[in-house]
Amino acid sequence: MDAQAVLEKRLIDLELKATEAEDLLDHLNQLVYRQQQQIEAMARELLHLRQQQGGDGPAGSRTAQDERPPHY
C-alpha cells in the first residue's frame, strides 16, 4: 500500500468512528430525555400523593373505615 492509500483508509476509519459516535450521542440524548420525562411524571405523582396524605381537600378526611385493608 502506498502512503496515499494508507491515509485514505485512516480517514475513512476516522469518519466511520465519528459517525458511530454521533449515533451513540443521539441515542443517549434520547434516553436522557425520556428519563427526564419519567422523573418529572413521578415527581408530579409524588406531589399529588403527598397532597392526598397531607390532609388537604377531600382525601384528607379519611376515616378508619377507609384505612382498613380490603380483605376485611
pLDDT of residue 14 exceeding 70, the answer is yes
Burial of 52 (0-12, 13-18, 19+ CB in 10 A): middle
pLDDT tens, position by position, 42-64: 999 999 999 999 865 555 556 76
Which uninterrupted H or E stretch holds 4?
helix 3-53
Predicted TM-score (pTM) of the model is 0.61
Task: Break the chain into its structural domains and give their ranges.
Answer: 18-47
Q: What is the 3-state secondary structure (H, E, C) of 6-67?
A: HHHHHHHHHHHHHHHHHHHHHHHHHHHHHHHHHHHHHHHHHHHHHHHHCCCCHHHCCCHHHH
**What percentage of the chain has pLDDT greater than the value 70?**
83
